[in-house]
Structure 1
Amino acid sequence: MWVSSAITALQIAALLPQTQALAVRSPQVPISKRDDGNTTLRPGFPHPDPTESYWQEPPHRIANLRTTPELPTEETFDYVIVGSGVSGAAIAFKLLSRDPSLSILMLEARTAASAASGRNGGHCKAGDWKAVKEWVELYGEDEALRIGKMEQDCVDDVREFVRAHNVSSGWQDVETADVYWTKEAFEKATGIVEYQKELQSRRPNDGPWSNKRTVYAGQAARDYWKWPQILGAVVYTAHTQNPYLTVCAILEEGLNKGLNLQTNTVALALNQLSSASETGAKWEVETDRGTVKGKQVVLATNSYTNALHPGLASTGFLTPQRAQVAAVHPEKDTSNNTVFRRSHSYPDLHSGNNYIAVRAPGDIGAGDVIIGGSSKFSPTRERNITDDSVINQDMADDLRAVGRVVFGYENWGETTKVVKDWTGIICNTPDGFPVVGGLPGQDGLWASVCMNGHGMAWAYRSAEALVQMMTEGEAPEWFPQSFDVARAWNKSSDS
């Protein structure tokens, strides 16, 4: 685990290559157009032909939107945001909610919300509660509670947005459980629940206590979940949704407030101007359609950040990873089976941290079971891969089989219909936290990236914090200091 400590902007600037004082550029590699008109890019950038996501059928009405037919290369924007996932969408929405007069340009390499935000497993849950004891040991009690509370508050904020704006994304409030198959893992989880209860008794106003964790052990767990194989479960409240539709709704709110969205426009390089122009431009962003200018530039590029910012890439702190999901349908009718009304994760299942959600009655694809995980079946764990155009067949085979294993024959039936396999690229940090804030020594360049596959529980509130940093000059008190972008440079070989 990386442990964050204080380091100044000047110290970090000294660690950056000298050329970065004026430019943040990737190596110039020829870009070519294929016969189908798509762009072929060097590794690290979004692949032009990703697998088709279950959630993106059919494509949203803004999927290929260009607010203006031509890229506005002559205008200097107050903000240029690179990336249209939940981070970029929330940043634009929150900026324009504060000040509708702002000019904001958003660049998206592919279609709107086409990266991790439109490719995940459909969960929105505060599932990192299991790390609270470790957080206390590493960062202290105050910071650990700040992290835990932010995670729950972020999930609640997304829920509030969906409800307030009547978003049609199949949002469901559900009972979820972390289900355990081994004694060691279950005993560790119950110990953390007891640890949290003690924290709550001493700090009733400081933690994520609004979401109660209930433990079911032994036969009580098996009776409750109707699964004879499990040893226990920790149950709490979570949510399922079509994440693609939720993020597109956030984007549309930004568009209604004046956002200029340019899809299918690949950001290739960042150029820091030696001095602000007459229009106030501090940065240029080179794209495959021309160069745009901004007073501020925000990277909401998640797993593709290394390709666009060699300085961050050189730290080795951001690690892309290909994640995989399958949508399957059991043979038996599940509409009246309460076992299928919940969502679940399996931290200790043989296949490696699987998670499952079921499409609710009335939703498109009702009864489809969404299963993600199984990275254990890849020798590399799919790390350092940014190509989401293919699937790992070994992982696909396992994901397709997990449902019948965990739900049991009596609930599932003999056969499984495979609806869709797809992949997406997530971004991991050694400490499991996002990277948020101003890039040290690079005035006007900001980032909210690397959500560790947990964007629905980190990104929306991280966007709120970043907007306050950009507009008021400091982070809110509730924002974890452990998320600070500066820590990417603040590490040693033995950390």
Structure 2
Amino acid sequence: MDERARQPVSLPRNGPTVSYWQDPPDRIADHRTTEELPTSADVVIIGSGITGAAVAWNLLKHVPVPAPSDAAPRIVMLEARQACSGATGRNGGHTKAASYRTFTHHVATLGVEEAVKIARLELANIQAVQTFAACHNLAVDADVQPCNTVDVIYDEAEWEAAKSAVQAMRDAMGPEDAAARYELYSPEAVEEQFYCPSGEDGDKVYGGVGYFAGSLNAYAFTVGVLRMCLARGLNLQTGTPAEEVSARGDGKWEVRTPRGRILARDVVVATNGYTAALLGAFQGVIVPLRGQVTAQRPGSNMPFGGSLPTTYSFIYHDGYDYMVPRPAGSRYAGDIVIGGGLVRAENEGLDEYGTTDDTTVNETISKYLAEITPKYFGENWGEDHPDGRVRREWTGIMGYSPDGFPFVGEVPNASGLWISASFQGHGMVLCWKCAEALVTMMAGRRDGVDDDLETWFPSAFRISEERMRKRFLGRLHTSAKPAVPDNDSDL
């Protein structure tokens, strides 16, 4: 893993695989607010995914529409490729916390109070995104669906750990706390209610865990937020990769691009898995990991024509897959969007770490994902669609940290350089609230605002030199089993 963490990180590559959600591209995909790149700004945001969009929104949300020229802060957003062309526009569409699967680890390494804070933040993030979409007329276009989800568990040890973790959350938070509400299902209930029987080839279902979650088209949601920001004065510059960020002696930052340089008081790095390409201090600290997703036409026997009322995860002894059925009324309603399969690749997916190549797919994972849906649903799958099972397949680049938490805050020893990145493939239940926290931190440093961040934002998420010195060992939190000793090794 040390070798993979040392792989030089590149900027986003040209010619990426086209995700299901990005076809056709949104009308702002290649937007440039001004023909020339501005030479100065109050804030430069690097990255136009959900984090960049949420940061921009929190900076601009009180500006009236249309934005008066003297009222809006001068905010420039740089995007290397098309708007929302990175991980946000490439994920599977889940807003799913699965907090019970990390809770015992967090208790063991951080303490009960911090573990509770993380679980509540994850649920609050889901609810905030769903509420925002409903209040700003984005829910229909972005297919935002509050719903329940189920984790179907195929490993006895994982099932026992899941039951213990759910009880631990109830004990710590109280059974009525929304973040601790889980329902446990027997194998028979999993088959009857969720259509997943034990397989004839030995894939035995041990039980299921149900809880509140949701699904959405994250690409449509995020470009919708970006359009709202444009109306409030955001200057979006696509096709403009940030190549270097450097401090000047006058308290400002200089961002170099192929189209020129721009000076700013504050720079926000929202580049997730690509961060080390821009900030060398994050090489081996935020490690890219390539994920893979397919969109499959439903089999002929699938209940509800494939538009199942719940989303799914399938948990086995060394990994998991996740699945989002496309809701009724949406484009390609009934399609099954399923991703995962990392540990099914050669060397358990080791070569997927450290790569930023989303222009291609891993053929071993492709084969696995294409074959797995009939195994999970058995006779409930039926015959494949006449046009074939797989409609679309693509990859995307995630970002992982040594301790399994995002980095949020002002980069150490770099006043005015901010970051919110490294979401462990869990961004849709972290990014929105992390962006809110980051903007609160920015306002507090500038204006001395007395905020209440400590009451809801986990201190484990705040960036620190100590966290950046830890050694990267791979994905954490892939099991509900009790924690191993904390990773406190220096690089």
TM-score (norm 2): 0.86
Q: Which residue of 1 aligns with 2:254?
A: 284
Query: Higher mean Cα deviation, 190-199 or 103-112?
Result: 190-199
Q: CA distance change for structure 1 residues 218 and 410 in 2, over 3 Å: closer, same or farther? A: closer
Structure 1, unaligned stretches of length 5 or more?
1-41, 277-281
Matched, 1:138 2:117: no
Q: Which residue of 2 aligns with 1:48?
A: 14
* Contact map agreement 2:274 2:356 (CA 8 A) in 1: yes
SS where residue 233 of structure 1 aligns? strand
Aligned with 1:444 (options 369, 392, 416): 416
Matched, 1:62 2:31: no
* Contact map agreement 1:112 1:248 (CA 8 A) in 2: yes
What does 1:20-99 align with in structure 2 at a 5 Å threshold? 44-73=10-39, 76-98=40-62
- Alpha-carbon deviation of 1:248? 0.6
What does 1:332-411 align with in structure 2 at a 5 Å threshold? 332=300, 334=302, 336=304, 340-348=308-316, 352-378=319-345, 379=347, 380=350, 382-411=352-381
* Contact map agreement 1:215 1:233 (CA 8 A) in 2: yes
- Alpha-carbon deviation of 1:81? 0.3
Q: Which residue of 1 aligns with 2:73?
A: 102
Deviation digits for residues 296-344 of structure 1 (CA, Å, limit 9, x no counterpart): 000001011001001222xx22110110001111331646358833210
Q: CA distance change for structure 1 residues 414 and 96 in 2, over 3 Å: closer, same or farther? A: closer
Instruction: Could you list the structure 1 runs, at least 4 aligned residues long, displaced by more than 4 angstroms after superposition.
Output: none
* Contact map agreement 1:466 1:475 (CA 8 A) in 2: no
Whole-angstrom CA distance in 1 between matches of 2:9 and 2:330: 37
RMSD between aligned alpha carbons? 2.0
Letter in 2 for 1:290: G
Aligned with 2:149 (options 170, 173, 176): 176
Letter in 2 for 1:368: D
Q: CA distance change for structure 1 residues 43 and 353 in 2, over 3 Å: closer, same or farther? A: same
Aligned with 1:274 (options 227, 249, 261): 249
* Contact map agreement 1:77 1:293 (CA 8 A) in 2: yes
Q: CA distance change for structure 1 residues 349 and 222 in 2, over 3 Å: closer, same or farther? A: farther
- Alpha-carbon deviation of 1:126? 1.4
Whole-angstrom CA distance in 1 between matches of 2:191 and 2:302: 19
Q: Which residue of 2 aligns with 1:260?
A: 235
Deviation digits for residues 241-267 of structure 1 (CA, Å, limit 9, x no counterpart): 111001111111111111000001011
Deviation digits for residues 390-436 of structure 1 (CA, Å, limit 9, x no counterpart): 00011011111111110113333256521011000000112221111
Q: Which residue of 2 aligns with 1:476?
A: 453
- Alpha-carbon deviation of 1:488? 3.3
Whole-angstrom CA distance in 2 between matches of 1:304 and 1:43: 6
- Alpha-carbon deviation of 1:452? 0.9
Letter in 2 for 1:302: N
- Alpha-carbon deviation of 1:240? 1.1
Aligned with 2:299 (options 326, 331, 334): 331
TM-score (norm 1): 0.85
Q: CA distance change for structure 1 residues 475 and 386 in 2, over 3 Å: closer, same or farther? A: farther
Query: Higher mean Cα deviation, 436-445 or 213-222?
Result: 213-222
SS where residue 104 of structure 2 aligns? helix
Letter in 2 for 1:77: A
Q: Which residue of 1 aligns with 2:186?
A: 217
Q: Which residue of 1 aligns with 2:425?
A: 453
Letter in 1 for 2:368: D
Query: Higher mean Cα deviation, 215-224 or 378-387?
Result: 215-224
* Contact map agreement 1:176 1:342 (CA 8 A) in 2: yes
Whole-angstrom CA distance in 2 between matches of 1:142 and 1:349: 29
* Contact map agreement 2:292 2:340 (CA 8 A) in 1: yes
How many residues align structurally? 440
Q: Which residue of 1 aligns with 2:158?
A: 185
Letter in 2 for 1:62: I
